[in-house]
Structure 1
Amino acid sequence: MIPFQLTVFIIVIYMLESLTIIVQSSLIVAVLCKEWLQVKRLSPVDMILTSLGICRFILQWASILSNFSLYFNLNYAFWYISVIWEFSNVLIFWLTSLLAVFYCVKVTSFTNPIFFWLRWRISRSVPWFLLGSLMISCVAIIPLAVSKFIQIQLITMEHLPRNSTVIVRLAMFQQYLVNAHRLVALGIPFLLFLASTTLLVASLIQHVQQMQHRNTGHGNSSMKAHSTALRSLAVLFIFFTSYFLTVLISLTHKLLKKGSWFWVWEAVIYAVVSIHSTSLMLSSPTLKKALKVKCWGLDAA
């Protein structure tokens, strides 16, 4: 059991992390929307990042509301808000995998005809991919909504005998439905992310090795650019994988849903989310330029 004072401190840390994520998400959306108003267009990467910023903003507010509803036993509020959290989370996984696929197709040096065709088509297809991600997330959330309805029905049946066959079967079906939903809804986009990242890293390593053999001035600058890309990919891979694992553990491990350890685990999850959001911000030239301008303005002031 964690002391009450330490629990309060961890809750404060969680709230500071949540505020950081909300500010990060708001900054992403504000900067990229301003860019869109100025030039009347956004790059495919910026379109994906704008969608991610909106989802992160919604997810974090849903996290705050659902966590405090669960902690203070406001069960009905928790169930409805948790559906919004799950929907936003699934959509974030699909959008992050879409970002990895986009980078994989545009950056890889593979000469396969399929990659040439995808490279030609993918930039114009990003809006359709965004719409597809939204539709997939809407479909994926249906089993969870059904499971929440079953939970409500189980509460209304509490007056029945505890060994009631109906209650036992409903509880088992609800648990099976939730676990299967989370495994499929989060696992498929994560596997797509892993495959795209692996292909991209393999291509970049191959290209760096070729540049080392050439050993020219242009090759050195190109090698530095590809080495930077590899480091960025490593950061994105580490923190998105960490986010996937922490979310999966927190959703399936019952001990982390009760008591003081609940807030410890939430603080761990959203520390990873904050770093992941920062790495995503640094993947956009538009956002990096805006951050440099703001930092330069602060230094000048």
Structure 2
Amino acid sequence: MFTGLDEIFVILAIVEFILGMLGNVFIGLVNCLEWVKNQKVSSADFILTCLAVFRISQLLVVLFDSCILALAPRLYITYRLAKSIGILWRISNHLTTWLATCLSIFYFFKIAYFPNSFFLWLRWRMNRVIVVLLIFSLLLLIFEYGLLEMFTNLWINIYKMDQSNLTLYLDESKTLYIENLTLLSVTYLIPFALSLTSLLLLFLSLGRHTRSLELNSMGSSHSRIEAHKRAIKTVMSFLFLFIVHFFSTQVANWIFPIFWTNKYTEFILLALNIFPSGHSFILILGNSKLRQTALKVLWHFKNHLKRSNS
């Protein structure tokens, strides 16, 4: 039955979806047009474009999932639907998480500086490091897909067997279910640990460089100090969103399959959408090309509204 809580949930899910689509479609369009115009693309723009494309698919999956959960929750026990939604969401989430991780590592090597031979060796081979990480993520995705097949089958069987008295089979299924869920959580720890390490090191490097500029403050260095402070705010915003996304994903993994009939668990999906929706605007504000293009679009839109009103 569609309740007032369901209505609030659907409205918030649609708002998150619209905001996320606006940010990610904008990033994808700007970078694709730049690619066509210059016939070349930088590593950062390539990662940003791929991230935007996969986040659009992720937002579509989550919106569909949210509507089914609010409007027709009983469809969740349908084998094909539950399996399709679960696999599509996890694949899109896997790809977007790893692309965001590669982006944070790329910016770490591009911006940070440490007088360490190993760091300098990796920095010199930055593009190769990113390629290796992407290949590793695809191999890990194949491993996760096998787990997802078993995980979805077990979840549906456990729900159906809860209606019967097959206690022994149910206990064995739940044990396998927990083992698969633990493995899926461990695989998600890898990109989280890489992102957390690279972002914290980048924050330390930027903070140290900013303090050095402030101690040797000259008139010409004021703009550099402000740029570093903006970069620090961007890094911290990204780090905060990534931590929220990590913990909400773990909560969704462990709580949602068990208490999915509870209406309050719907709002876990809203927390999952904060990262793909909010991070796109952080990327726009932190990237000079995207920020200037966004300001131009807003300026033209504002002038168009003034002409329409006059």
The interval holding the TM-score normalised by the smaller chain is 0.7 to 0.9
Once the two structures are TM-superposed, the CA of residue 204 in structure 1 deviates from its matched residue by 1.0
- Which of 169, 172, 187 is 1:169 aligned to? 172
**1: CA distance between counterparts of 2:239 and 2:232?**
10
Once the two structures are TM-superposed, the CA of residue 232 in structure 1 deviates from its matched residue by 0.9
- Which of 204, 216, 224 is 1:214 aligned to? 216
Note the alpha carbon deviations across 1:38-60, whole angstroms, 9 max, x for none: 11222211111111111111111
Report 1:8-19 matches (<5 A).
Answer: 8-19=7-18
Q: Look up the match of 2:283.
A: 280
**1: CA distance between counterparts of 2:27 and 2:301?**
19
Q: TM-score, normalised by structure 1?
A: 0.88
Q: Look up the match of 2:308.
A: none
Q: Look up the match of 1:121.
A: 125
Q: Look up the match of 2:46.
A: 47
**1: CA distance between counterparts of 2:14 and 2:284?**
21
Query: Given the superposition, is the C-alpha separation of residues 159 and 194 from structure 1 closer, same or farther in structure 2, using an over 3 Å criterion?
Result: closer
Deviates more, 1:275-284 or 1:265-274: 265-274
**2: CA distance between counterparts of 1:15 and 1:174?**
32
Contact 2:244–2:271 (8 Å) recurs in 1 = no
- Which of 283, 302, 308 is 1:299 aligned to? 302
- Which of 189, 192, 195 is 2:191 aligned to? 189
- Which of 135, 142, 147 is 2:146 aligned to? 142
Contact 2:13–2:63 (8 Å) recurs in 1 = no
Q: Secondary structure at the match of 1:265?
A: helix
Q: Secondary structure at the match of 1:7?
A: helix
Query: Given the superposition, is the C-alpha separation of residues 241 and 175 from structure 1 closer, same or farther in structure 2, using an over 3 Å criterion?
Result: same
Structure 2 residue 64 is the aligned partner of structure 1 residue 60: no
- Which of 252, 270, 290 is 1:267 aligned to? 270
Q: Secondary structure at the match of 1:141?
A: helix
Q: TM-score, normalised by structure 2?
A: 0.86
Once the two structures are TM-superposed, the CA of residue 127 in structure 1 deviates from its matched residue by 4.8
Deviates more, 1:223-232 or 1:263-272: 263-272
Q: Look up the match of 2:137.
A: 133
Once the two structures are TM-superposed, the CA of residue 237 in structure 1 deviates from its matched residue by 1.0
Once the two structures are TM-superposed, the CA of residue 5 in structure 1 deviates from its matched residue by 2.2
Query: Given the superposition, is the C-alpha separation of residues 213 and 267 from structure 1 closer, same or farther in structure 2, using an over 3 Å criterion?
Result: same
Q: Secondary structure at the match of 2:262?
A: coil
* Percent of aligned pairs sharing the same letter: 23
> Which amino acid is 2:209 matched to?
H
Contact 1:70–1:78 (8 Å) recurs in 2 = no
Deviates more, 1:142-151 or 1:52-61: 142-151
Note the alpha carbon deviations across 1:105-152, whole angstroms, 9 max, x for none: 111121112222222221465455444433333333321222223345
Contact 1:250–1:256 (8 Å) recurs in 2 = no
Once the two structures are TM-superposed, the CA of residue 196 in structure 1 deviates from its matched residue by 0.4
Question: Unpaired segments of 5 or more residues in structure 1?
Answer: none
Once the two structures are TM-superposed, the CA of residue 269 in structure 1 deviates from its matched residue by 3.4
Report 1:204-243 matches (<5 A).
Answer: 204-243=206-245
Q: RMSD in angstroms over aligned alpha carbons? A: 2.5
**2: CA distance between counterparts of 1:153 and 1:267?**
27
> Which amino acid is 2:287 matched to?
S
Query: Given the superposition, is the C-alpha separation of residues 155 and 42 from structure 1 closer, same or farther in structure 2, using an over 3 Å criterion?
Result: same
> Which amino acid is 2:255 matched to?
H
Contact 2:10–2:66 (8 Å) recurs in 1 = no
**1: CA distance between counterparts of 2:251 and 2:163?**
33
Question: Unpaired segments of 5 or more residues in structure 2?
Answer: 305-310
Note the alpha carbon deviations across 1:239-286, whole angstroms, 9 max, x for none: 111121222222222476333213333234324542222112333333
Structure 2 residue 106 is the aligned partner of structure 1 residue 102: yes
